Structure 1
Amino acid sequence: MDSLTQIVLGAAVGEAVLGKKVGNKAMLYGAIAGTIPDLDTIVGKFLDPLTAIEIHRGLSHSIVFSIVMAPLLGWLVSKIHKRAAATWKDWSWLFFWGLITHPLLDAHTTWGTQLFWPFDLRLAYQNIFVIDPLYTLPFLVFLILAIRLPKTSAKRNKYNRLGLSVSSGYMMLTLILKGISYQKFTDALDAQHIEYTAIDTRPAAFNTILWYANVDIGDAYLLGDYSFFDTKPISFKKVEKNKAALANYKNSETVKRLAQIAEGWYAIEKSNQDLFFNDLRFGVYDLEAENLKFVFSYQLVPDQYDKLTIVEAKRDPEAMKQVLSSLWSRVWGN
């Protein structure tokens, strides 16, 4: 999830664990704990682009990281606040829960997280977009109401628990909505007598009303969308996998690594002499557009040794405005 959401969650968890003893310090260090796992993006800036993608939400988002770092950070903060009512063990518990809830939340997004690192298993439930105002804003409001009250106030504890309950309840609702939308897509495929081997669904940006689906039909994919306000049947657009375009690069180590990141959901695009690797898990900017542009697209560039490197396709700010306008319109039905 986005940084603000992780800060709010971390602060609320910190308050729940240690708020009665140390007051707003619990929220402060909870917020810090909720931010720490995403520092892997800073590490990624010193690595090649492909490795940076691979390590994102890896080690720092694991149970191992939380278990190792919590007592170290707890010890450090206990030394800084020697006069506080909290012990080293108290601070360690705060950091553990602040660290571990970060990847637990990220596991609900499309990118997912390697919670069980070093095992090669990425959890990605794909039931919430990385930025969802309906999850974050009510949570933030309850946290602000709580932070203004004394640490011994019963209302403070009540507001914080309400924030955690409302956000958790909304998360449960998104899982139900995902299940309903999944059924809508499979019903549409059955009604259109389309045979498929796999289907992958996820919410559109900033909401859980509009949902997207990728459908594997063998040598191609079908892309579709469904809004809970739709009145017309679901239609699908075909995207060829086009893996033959890789030619001599089909067994390239770079392609294999990208394919693993994309969990097999990718298509190759050839424009003039340039090759592009399109990660289908994050969909396209506008499914209604004539020429589909994928959100995560990487140009495959041969180096002097004829090995492939990657360059992430740049996003056009003006085009993004049109995309947001189209998204808002599409949410309200076809």
Structure 2
Amino acid sequence: MDSLSQICLGAGVATLVIGRKVPVKQAVLWGAVAGTLPDLDVLFDAGDAIANMVSHRAHSHALFYLALVSPLLAWLISALQRQTALFLHWWLAIGLVLITHPLLDVMTIYGTRLGLPFTDTPFGVGSIFIIDPLYTLPLLFALIIALLKPKWCTGAAASGLGLSSVYLIWSFSAQQSITSIVEAELPVPAADAVLVTPTPFNTILWRVLIMTEQGYYEGFYSVLDRSAAIDYQFFPQNARLKQQYKAHPDIARIAAFSHGFYSLQQQDDKLILTDLRMGLRQNYAFNFLVTPDTATPAQALPRAYDMGTTVRWIQQQLVASE
């Protein structure tokens, strides 16, 4: 999720756990700091564009490593605040803050490697967009109330966390329901993989991506108009090209990271590699230029992802479905 959501989640969890034992401002501050720490991995260069992409949400988001770090961070905070007697309480608070960060990230589609060092699998449920105001606002309002009315801090934090969690449950339930509908009415007799994710900033209009050997289908489903059939658009792909370069290190890495939801196109003597999960209507967030001989490091192509155009299109679709 975005930084604001993680800050609010961390501050809310810390306030709920330790807000009655220390000044609320301390709980909010240290919860916010711990809530954003795992995302500092973006500051480190992994070597090339693809390595940087797949290394995000890796070791810094692994539950095992976060469990090891949490007592050290709790000890540091309790020492700085001269509250060594509250070390165990800080440990519980900071431990929960660190662990809930990657658990929330898993609900997005990007890919979070929770299981390192035991498994390198990137997990991504994909039931919520990376930025969703309906998830973040309850947490933010709860923190404002907790700071203004310290006596209500734990109740406010519990309410904010409860409402945001209910929204996550709704998004997951909606995703599973739509996935069942899509799989029952596929536009082709068989599909290699099916992905259902919400469009930006909402859980009303959902994007459907269906991979086949010949290419992929993209369609959209609105929960406001359940009776409407999904209108798919087909984008052909060169199956031979994918087969030819499936062992290419960069392509194999994106294929694994995206769970097969990627496209590969030839452009002169270069290859254009695209993660199809993030973006829509051929307006994607991650595109890479790859050399067939692997001699040159992969390069990220300039972002063509126009969020403004995407949002305006989504608004039109939602209005049309009402």
When normalised by structure 2's length, the TM-score is 0.91
Cα displacement (A) at 1:279: 1.1
Cα displacement (A) at 1:46: 5.8
Work out the CA distance in 2 between the residues paired with 1:215 and 1:20: 50
- Counterpart position of 2:315: 328
- Counterpart position of 2:298: 310
C-alpha contact (below 8 Å) 1:129/1:207 kept by paired residues: yes
| Structure 2 unmatched ranges of 5 or more | none
Per the alignment, in what secondary structure is the counterpart of residue 21 of structure 2?
A: helix
- Counterpart position of 2:14: 14
State the identity %.
32
Work out the CA distance in 1 between the residues paired with 2:180 and 2:320: 18
Cα displacement (A) at 1:132: 0.2
Task: Say if 1:160 and 1:267 are closer, same or farther in 2 by CA, change over 3 A.
Answer: same
Q: Deviations over 1:39-74 (max 9, x none)?
A: 11111x363222212211011111112211111111
- Counterpart position of 1:237: 233
- Counterpart position of 2:210: 215
Quick one: which amino acid aligns to residue 141 of structure 2? V
C-alpha contact (below 8 Å) 1:214/1:222 kept by paired residues: yes
Cα displacement (A) at 1:210: 0.8
- Counterpart position of 1:79: 79
Cα displacement (A) at 1:182: 1.3
Quick one: which amino acid aligns to residue 298 of structure 1? F
For residue 259 of structure 2, the aligned residue among 258, 263, 277 is 263
For residue 203 of structure 1, the aligned residue among 198, 201, 209 is 198
2:61 pairs with 1:61:
yes
Instruction: For 1:1-334, list aligned pairs within 5 A.
Output: 1-23=1-23, 24-43=25-44, 45=45, 47-82=47-82, 84=83, 86-118=85-117, 119-150=119-150, 153=151, 155-189=152-186, 192=187, 194-230=189-225, 232-245=228-241, 249-284=245-280, 287=281, 292-301=282-291, 307-316=295-304, 319-333=306-320
Q: Deviations over 1:162-204 (max 9, x none)?
A: 1011001111111111122212322332xx5632232111111
Work out the CA distance in 2 between the residues paired with 1:81 and 1:48: 40
Q: CA RMSD in A?
A: 2.2
Task: Say if 1:247 and 1:202 are closer, same or farther in 2 by CA, change over 3 A.
Answer: closer
Work out the CA distance in 2 between the residues paired with 1:78 and 1:177: 42
Per the alignment, in what secondary structure is the counterpart of residue 332 of structure 1?
A: helix
Work out the CA distance in 2 between the residues paired with 1:126 and 1:320: 18
Higher relative contact order (CA 8 A, sep 6+): 2
Q: Deviations over 1:234-292 (max 9, x none)?
A: 121222232434686443222212222222111112344442111112242xx3xxxx3
C-alpha contact (below 8 Å) 1:21/1:86 kept by paired residues: no
| Structure 1 unmatched ranges of 5 or more | none
C-alpha contact (below 8 Å) 1:34/1:99 kept by paired residues: yes
Work out the CA distance in 2 between the residues paired with 1:321 and 1:59: 33
Work out the CA distance in 2 between the residues paired with 1:71 and 1:64: 13
Quick one: which amino acid aligns to residue 41 of structure 1? V
Per the alignment, in what secondary structure is the counterpart of residue 309 of structure 1?
A: coil
